Amino acid sequence: MLEPFKAYLQQRVDLTDEQFSLISDKLKVKSFDKNEMILMKGDVSSYGFFVLSGLLRSYSIDSKGKTHIIQFAPEQWWLTERNGMLFNEPSDFFIDAIEPTKAVIVHKDFMNETSKHVPCMNDLNNTMLNNSIRFMQKRINMLLSATAEERYLNFIKLYPNLTLRVPQWMIASYLGITPESLSRVRKDLAHKHFKP
């Protein structure tokens, strides 16, 4: 069950099988149904998720009832609610499963505890956090500077397989536009490609 997670780790850091078995005591795998709610806004989350299979998302709901997708987490991605994780504060966002999903559940103390015995886990954590930051900076830059069409093209390039798995209104919600607008953008793109 945890094999893919072990592979993921060993790909990134120098981790022996013995070290992994030390770690794996503290890990659990949990399954979620399609559309299952995993974390409510306002709840305090003590766990991060590493997706083994399926697809999670975190999102907010604004005052007009509209949904805004903060992050998709397909296979091999982490999804962690940072308010609860480190500061014991209630979550700003919701988390649920878009597809039936299996995920490794990582308690907030996991990194602290394991890095005592397996120091490289610290580096991994560090790398992941830094990666997450530069990823989000690029997204912010996109939202500041690009048109709907540019954002969509960028999305397709970045997540070719998500583009197929996720309903379009969710992609629109991630891009910060309405489903109708995305539909129009797609229409325009189709025309462009027929008449180049």
Partner DNA sequence: TGCGTTTCTTATCATAGGTCAATGCCAGCT
Partner DNA sequence: AGCTGGCATTGACCTATGATAAGAAACGCA
Binding mask 61-80 for a copy of itself (x = CB under 8 A): -x---x-xxx----------
Which of these segments, 4-12, 14-22, 49-57, 144-152, binds DNA (CB under 7 A)?
A: 144-152
Question: Checking DSSP bridges between strand 55-61 and strand 47-53, what pairing results, if any?
Answer: unpaired
Binding mask 88-127 for a copy of itself (x = CB under 8 A): ----xx-----------------x----------x--xxx
Question: Checking DSSP bridges between strand 67-74 and strand 78-80, what pairing results, if any?
Answer: unpaired
Residue 2 tokens, joined:
């945890």
Output 78 or 155, the one with its CB closest to DNA.
155
- Asked if residue 168 binds a copy of itself (CB under 8 A), the reply is no
- Asked if residue 147 binds DNA (CB under 7 A), the reply is yes
Q: How many residues touch a copy of itself (CB under 8 A)?
A: 36
- Asked if residue 40 binds a copy of itself (CB under 8 A), the reply is no
Output 53 or 122, the one with its CB closest to a copy of itself.
122
CA terminus-to-terminus distance, the chain: 49
From the CB of 158, what's the least distance to DNA, in Å?
18
Residue 40 tokens, joined:
């409510």
Q: Which of 141, 167, 140, 139 is nearest to 155 (CA)?
A: 139
Euclidean distance between CA atoms 35 and 109, whole angstroms: 28
Residue 124 contacts by C-beta under 8 Å, 6 or more apart in sequence? 9, 12, 13
